[in-house]
């Protein structure tokens, strides 16, 4: 075990983690980042490494591939002085400071922690899904909906929560029609979102309907579905299939030491990055179930870094 006590350890390497790294490194806190090794099934660099073109991150008017954006963020973190270990954190001890961080490679101590481990979109593992992932199938309508592939084409959204309703509504801007597949006869979404969805003439809700297979060769051409009451099957022609069946925040390694909300996201004090343990901050999708964008993750990474810096300097002067 290392006996050095780090000022700050950052866990996770998406836009939130790298922004926190850039800010804490520039504040001369010499941050140590664990970027993960296929943690939560995602490569170091996070969810954007799994996508093609990013067109909504400011500063890149022509857009750029997700992996390139993350390479650039990593290079900037290193340039500012961040030390990066390609290890996954397996457990932490938050019972006292300095906090203990355990990885596959050793044990480390830190005065403050920034948790930026992201979230993983749930998938259905349908036949055809692997082949057609990002070739018509996506788990983020806001990210991918505007692609030319989907313009004026029929689209399918699966889910009945706020995300599904919001994404179906958003997709009506691009698709010719949006089929919303709901496995029960009710939407789980808030009343306002339900009303908006039900009243949108471009959204067709299919109640009691489950997807069976994603169809297509090079890109998606349709979705085979089943009515789970009658057993009847049909093929819905579609160029796009969007999963909106929830996300799983990557919090297992915390082993219940921090407060989570009812859906498993890390709780932060509203308007701050502070968690339920002093000195532990959270940023990005691991604490955000509403916006879930690279730029909001980066913004909250900045907040976490500034708060860690303030806490350390307050403690130094007292
Ligand atoms: P993530 O990007 O999820 O990164 C977290 C990282 O932490 C991962 O690398 C993970 O492996 C690592 N990690 C997890 N657990 C551990 C651990 N125990 N130890 C060490 N490391 C760990 N947003 C946009 O703004 N524009 C887009 O165009 C866009 N496109 C998208 C396309 C797809 C297919 C997806 C899935 C998402 C897209 N998003 C987009 C959303 C965006 O990717 C996320 O909002 C953003 O990446 C969240 O950043 P984050 O830093 O919170 O975490
Ligand atoms: P939810 O967990 O609320 O909803 C998931 C939906 O997917 C449910 O309708 C569920 O069906 C359905 N589902 C789950 N698994 C499957 C499956 N295997 N096959 C078919 N359907 C499935 O997730 P959301 O992402 O919608 O929302 C998460 C949280 O974020 C909620 O608290 C929500 O209110 C909040 N949110 C708020 C927003 C806002 O305020 N603007 C925007 C987006 C999210 P069933 O109902 O049958 O379980």
Task: Report pLDDT digits (tens) over 99-155.
Answer: 999 998 899 999 999 999 999 889 999 999 999 998 999 988 988 899 999 999 999
Ligand 1 centroid to residue 14 C-alpha, Å: 5
| Whether residue 225 has pLDDT greater than 90 | yes
Instruction: Tell me which of 80, 104, 144, 165 is the catalytic residue.
Output: 144
CB 238 within 8 A of CB 220: yes
CA distances from 281 to 64, 249, 258 (A): 30, 15, 10
Half-sphere exposure of residue 188: CA atoms within 13 angstroms, side-chain side:
14
- DSSP secondary structure letter of residue 311: H
| Whether residue 41 has pLDDT greater than 90 | no
DSSP for 59-119 reads T-TT-EEHHHHHHHHHHHHHHHT-EEE---EEEEE-SSSSEEEEETTEEEEEEEEEE---E
Instruction: Tell me which of 87, 143, 162, 285 is the catalytic residue.
Output: 143
State pLDDT tens for residues 47-63. 998 777 888 999 999 99
Q: Supply φ then ψ for residue 63, to 5 degrees.
A: 80, 165
Q: Is the peptide bond before 56 cis (omega within 30 degrees of 0)?
A: no
Query: Binning pLDDT at 50, 70 and 90, where does residue 317 land?
Result: low
Residue nearest to atom 45 of ligand 1 (CA): 293
Instruction: Tell me which of 140, 162, 165, 288 is the catalytic residue.
Output: 140
Rounded distance between C-alpha atoms, residue 236 and residue 221, angstroms: 9
Closest by CA position to 87, among listed 71, 72, 101: 101
Ligand 2 centroid to residue 160 C-alpha, Å: 6
State pLDDT tens for residues 252-266. 999 999 999 998 999
What is the pLDDT, as a whole number, of residue 53?
Answer: 81
CA distances from 95 to 4, 32, 69, 107, 142 (A): 18, 21, 36, 15, 39
CB 157 within 8 A of CB 166: no
What is the pLDDT, as a whole number, of residue 193?
Answer: 93
Rounded distance between C-alpha atoms, residue 19 and residue 114, angstroms: 11
What is the pLDDT, as a whole number, of residue 318?
Answer: 53
Strand partners, 108: 101
DSSP for 215-228 reads EESSSEEEEEEEET
The helix (run of H) or strand (run of E) holding residue 294 is helix 294-317
Section 166-193 average pLDDT:
96
The helix (run of H) or strand (run of E) holding residue 233 is strand 233-237
Rounded distance between C-alpha atoms, residue 130 and residue 134, angstroms: 9
Supply the mean pLDDT for the chain.
Answer: 95
**Ligand closest to the CA atom of residue 41:** 1
Section 285-298 average pLDDT:
95
Section 34-45 average pLDDT:
90
Ligand 2 centroid to residue 213 C-alpha, Å: 21
CB 84 within 8 A of CB 71: no
Q: Which is more confident, 189 or 142?
A: 189
**CATH 3.50.50.60 placement within the chain:** 5-120+248-317, 123-243
Residue 143 annotated among the catalytic residues of the structure: yes
Architecture per CATH, domain 123-243, reads as 3-Layer(bba) Sandwich (3.50)
pTM value is 0.84
Residue 255 annotated among the catalytic residues of the structure: no
Residue 144 annotated among the catalytic residues of the structure: yes
Fold of 5-120+248-317: FAD/NAD(P)-binding domain (3.50.50)
Token pair, residue 208, equals: 């009691």
| Whether residue 95 has pLDDT greater than 80 | yes
Token pair, residue 265, equals: 């996201």
Closest atom of ligand 2 to CA, residue 159: 7
The finding on whether 209 has its CB within 6 A of some atom of ligand 1 is no
């Amino acid at each position: 075990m290392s006996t050095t006590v780090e000022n700050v350890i950052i866990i996770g390497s998406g836009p939130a983690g790298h922004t926190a790294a850039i800010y804490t490194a520039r504040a001369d806190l010499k941050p140590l980042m664990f970027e993960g090794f296929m943690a939560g099934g995602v490569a170091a660099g996070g969810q954007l490494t799994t996508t093609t073109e990013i067109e909504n991150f400011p500063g890149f008017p022509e857009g750029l591939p997700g992996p390139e954006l993350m390479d650039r963020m990593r290079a900037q973190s290193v340039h500012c002085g961040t030390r990066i270990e390609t290890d996954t954190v397996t457990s932490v001890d938050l019972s006292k400071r300095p906090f203990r961080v355990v990885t596959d490679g050793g044990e480390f101590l830190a005065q403050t922690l920034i948790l930026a481990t992201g979230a993983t979109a749930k998938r259905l593992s349908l036949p055809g899904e692997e082949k057609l992932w990002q070739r018509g199938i996506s788990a983020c309508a806001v990210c991918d909906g505007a692609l030319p592939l989907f313009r004026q084409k029929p689209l399918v959204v699966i889910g009945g929560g706020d995300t599904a309703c919001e994404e179906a509504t958003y997709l009506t801007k691009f698709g010719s029609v949006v089929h919303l597949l709901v496995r029960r006869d009710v939407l789980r979404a808030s009343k306002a979102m339900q009303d908006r969805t039900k009243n949108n003439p471009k959204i067709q809700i299919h109640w009691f309907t489950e997807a069976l297979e994603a169809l297509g060769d090079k890109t998606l051409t349709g979705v085979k579905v089943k009515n789970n009451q009658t057993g009847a099957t049909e093929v819905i022609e579609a160029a796009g299939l969007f999963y909106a069946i929830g996300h799983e925040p990557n919090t297992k390694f915390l082993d219940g030491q921090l407060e989570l909300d009812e859906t498993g996201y890390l709780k932060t004090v509203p308007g701050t990055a502070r968690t339920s343990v002093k000195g532990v901050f959270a940023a990005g999708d691991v604490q955000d179930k509403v916006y879930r964008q690279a730029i909001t993750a980066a913004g909250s990474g900045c907040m976490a870094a500034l708060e860690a810096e303030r806490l350390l300097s307050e403690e130094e002067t007292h």
